[in-house]
Amino acid sequence: MKLYLSSPRAFNSTFHNAHGQAIYKSRTSSSAFGRTTTVSRIIRNEVLSDYSMRDIFGHLAQIEWKPFASSILRLHGREMRTRSFFRKEGWGICGRDRVFAAPDGRQYRWKLGTAIPELREHDDRQTLVARFNPGGKSSFFSSQMPSLEILPIGEHNADTILVSLIYIDKLREDD
């Protein structure tokens, strides 16, 4: 599954497939109390008639960004501090890697040390699960759209992978 972003920043973007269908949205708002990112996912529109072209989105997750404390993540009906969901490991140019457990019980690791972050299984095999291409110039004449590629091995965890990407992309921007 390959999702294309409408902007270079995952925390404020619409994620659509190759056909242009929006699948996810992330919106980050600012207030006097800080920033909050809300993530929505498309819901199958079976209620409306076949002639309706409206997309309906449902709430998936929320991140309350805290500048001096652990941010708050609401995902899969749970509220948790990001420091309890993500564990820091290793070192890289773009910050420390982040390890988390997905609903399938497996551990995954975002490797942040390169220009293109990769998500790998956190085990001896380190199988590639997803990669985030932030886009930009690929050659003198062309540019690439930002994209998130989730390999078939990770598609069952697409929601969690996307929310974790939004979190690490914000970390990368803040560094």
Q: What CA–CA distance (Å, rounded) separates 50 from 165?
A: 34
Q: What residues contact residue 167 under an 8 Å CB cut-off, 6+ apart?
A: 63, 71, 73, 82, 86, 98
Mean pLDDT, rounded, of the chain? 87
Which residues are bridge partners to 64 per DSSP? 36, 72
pLDDT of residue 36: 94
Q: Residue 144: its pLDDT value, please?
A: 79
pTM: 0.88
- pLDDT tens string 70-106: 999 999 899 999 999 999 988 766 668 999 999 999 9
Helices (H), 11-129: 82-85
pLDDT of residue 55: 75
Could you give the C-alpha distances from 119 to 98, 102, 107, 146, in angstroms and in order?
9, 12, 10, 16
pLDDT tens column, 92-144: 666 689 999 999 999 999 998 667 899 999 999 999 999 999 876 554 554 67
pLDDT digits (tens, 9 = 90+) for 36-53: 999 999 986 655 555 555
Answer whether residue 12 shows pLDDT above 50: yes
pLDDT of residue 161: 97
Greater confidence, 31 or 147? 147
